[in-house]
Amino acid sequence: MEEKFRTKVEQNWLKCWIAKDTISEVLAELADIRFKAFYTHIRNDIYSNHGILQAETCSTCSDPSTQCNLCSKIVTRIWNYHRFKKARLRGPSWKNTDITKWCTESWELAKCYMPPTGYKEKASAGETDFNGIIGAIYNCSWMQNYFTDDLSQETNICTKARDVVNELRHTNGMNIDDRVMFSFFDCLLNLLNDTAYLNSFQPAVDARTCLIRLQLDKMPLTEMEVNDTLQKRYKDEGLVLVSRTEWYAQSSKEAAQYMTMPVSHVFIHHTTMNECFSQEKGVIEMRKIQHIHQDLNGWADIGYNFVIGQDGKVYMGRGWDRVGAHTLGWNNKSISFAFTGNFTETLPTDDALNALEAALVLGVKLGKLTPDFKLHGHRDARPETKSPGQKLYNQICKHKHYEPIGPNIETFSPQSRV
Ligand SMILES: [Zn+2]
């Protein structure tokens, strides 16, 4: 596995995220089908009340307050089916929706029922996150047709699922105890068991089987499933992670050594090799660096914990937990990020620098870095190197977590082969 999930609480964390991704897919399928039906329903209703044929469409109205005859009828119905139509500040989320597509893309109707902002670019159910989908289902009162549980109650199976998923998203560290995990699974299973529709909706039936086996440890997880879950988790934080499998990494030549988490030092390096503006180039570069580190330097694995390409992709090296081989004297108490390229005279791209920032935030959130971690350039610890390049080093010196390493603070101790 790429990351360590050795303890029970870490495995629980992973299981909860897999369960969350599983139920997200089910609800996305449900919402996709049911919002298509919702569109058909309101068009039939408009036909029977106003005689506007279903075949008539509009793709020109774009403002919810000035509408053609047809669109104004649709607006009225979107309002009527909004659960919070009476509350003054709530109601449809017009900022999310593209009104010109109401007659061709039923997902644009679903978006009127999602949280007020953040969904404008989500063109389909598959692109929409759990919060958006559960919001659309819950806020559109017409969806009550597919639930036995009374969704007009403040606490119901949808709001409960929404709340536990939000709690999971805000969990610090990667540890979840058994009690919390079981109650999380119970909550998701309650939703999947609802007898009106989900109980016999095939994707929900499959998801239920999967969740029950997962909860009871009867489902061995493949490396692919673990990678997939981690990548989604990173994506939530705005990071595109390239797994070791994806860059065709050779396995480590020695058993991994793990650091005690969280660590409080981060070192920034540059590779002085190719810059890598695409994953294709990045994969070749990662193989090249790993070859140098393993076969020429004689190390167990690629030395860096992470490598950042100029397109902002983050390549998994040794990951958060494993002792790396990057900054002599500091390897067992720090995490390294290496930017691909040479940054003596130029800076990495904004994409690459933003990826570092997002990775540092995630590191704190996952409990891998202390909140007050210290950021250093490679040369702070090893003055004989130019890494990470003068220009990038100047930039790092301005970072709020930057701290120089004073002389003699750390006693130099040669590392064993790592
Ligand atoms: Zn119109």
The tens digit of pLDDT for each residue in 20-62 reads 999 999 999 999 999 999 999 999 999 999 999 999 999 999 8
How remote is the CA of residue 54 from the centroid of ligand 1, in Å? 13
Which residues contact residue 416 at a Cβ distance below 8 angstroms, ignoring those fewer than 6 apart? none
Q: Quick check: 73 pLDDT over 80?
A: yes
| Phi, psi torsion values for 5, nearest 5 degrees | -130, 65
How far is the C-alpha of 131 from the C-alpha of 28, rounded, in Å? 11
How remote is the CA of residue 100 from the centroid of ligand 1, in Å? 7
How remote is the CA of residue 99 from the centroid of ligand 1, in Å? 8
Mean of per-residue pLDDT scores for the chain: 91
If you average pLDDT over each of 138-142, 220-224, 413-417, which comes out highest? 138-142
How remote is the CA of residue 63 from the centroid of ligand 1, in Å? 9
How remote is the CA of residue 76 from the centroid of ligand 1, in Å? 13
Residues paired with 267 in a beta bridge: 336, 376
Which residues contact residue 91 at a Cβ distance below 8 angstroms, ignoring those fewer than 6 apart? 79, 82, 84, 85
Q: Given this model, what pLDDT does residue 89 score?
A: 60
The tens digit of pLDDT for each residue in 355-364 reads 999 999 999 9
Q: Given this model, what pLDDT does residue 407 score?
A: 56
Domain regions of the chain by residue span: 8-215, 241-397
Q: Quick check: 88 pLDDT over 90?
A: no
The tens digit of pLDDT for each residue in 168-220 reads 998 888 899 999 999 999 999 999 999 999 999 999 999 999 999 998 887 77
How remote is the CA of residue 52 from the centroid of ligand 1, in Å? 12
How remote is the CA of residue 139 from the centroid of ligand 1, in Å? 24
How remote is the CA of residue 142 from the centroid of ligand 1, in Å? 23
Q: pLDDT confidence of 416, banded at 50, 70, 90?
A: very low
How remote is the CA of residue 44 from the centroid of ligand 1, in Å? 17
- Average pLDDT (101-105) is 95
How remote is the CA of residue 75 from the centroid of ligand 1, in Å? 10
The tens digit of pLDDT for each residue in 298-313 reads 999 999 999 999 999 9
How remote is the CA of residue 77 from the centroid of ligand 1, in Å? 14
Residues paired with 268 in a beta bridge: 337, 377
How remote is the CA of residue 27 from the centroid of ligand 1, in Å? 30
Q: Given this model, what pLDDT does residue 228 score?
A: 86
Q: Given this model, what pLDDT does residue 253 score?
A: 93
Read off the tokens for 246. Answer: 């994806």
What's the number of CA atoms in the CB half-sphere (13 Å) around residue 193?
10
Q: Given this model, what pLDDT does residue 41 score?
A: 97
How remote is the CA of residue 60 from the centroid of ligand 1, in Å? 6
Percentages helix, strand, coil for the chain (3-state, rounded to 5) are: 45, 10, 45
Residue 190, CA distances (Å) to 143, 166, 168, 174, 201 in order = 17, 17, 17, 25, 14
Q: Quick check: 410 pLDDT over 80?
A: no
Q: Are strands 313-316 and 263-270 parallel, antiparallel or unpaired?
A: unpaired
Q: Given this model, what pLDDT does residue 414 score?
A: 44
Q: pLDDT confidence of 229, banded at 50, 70, 90?
A: confident
Q: Are strands 334-339 and 306-308 parallel, antiparallel or unpaired?
A: parallel
How remote is the CA of residue 91 from the centroid of ligand 1, in Å? 20
Q: Are strands 263-270 and 306-308 parallel, antiparallel or unpaired?
A: unpaired
How remote is the CA of residue 101 from the centroid of ligand 1, in Å? 10
Angle between helices 8-50 and 130-139 (to 10 degrees): 40
Q: Given this model, what pLDDT does residue 406 score?
A: 64
Q: pLDDT confidence of 285, banded at 50, 70, 90?
A: very high
How remote is the CA of residue 114 from the centroid of ligand 1, in Å? 22
- Average pLDDT (115-139) is 94
- Average pLDDT (220-247) is 87
241-397 is classed in which CATH architecture? Answer: 3-Layer(aba) Sandwich (3.40)
Lowest mean pLDDT, pick from 226-240, 330-344, 401-415 = 401-415
Whether 91 and 82 have beta carbons less than 8 Å apart is answered as yes
Q: pLDDT confidence of 411, banded at 50, 70, 90?
A: very low
- Calculate what percentage of the chain has a pLDDT beyond 90: 80
Starting at the earlier edge strand, list the strands of the sheet with 306-308: 240-242, 313-316, 306-308, 334-339, 263-270, 369-377
How far is the C-alpha of 230 from the C-alpha of 252, rounded, in Å? 20
Q: Given this model, what pLDDT does residue 13 score?
A: 92
- Average pLDDT (125-144) is 95
Q: Quick check: 84 pLDDT over 90?
A: no
Go through the chain and tell me how many residues it has: 418
How far is the C-alpha of 392 from the C-alpha of 344, rounded, in Å? 7
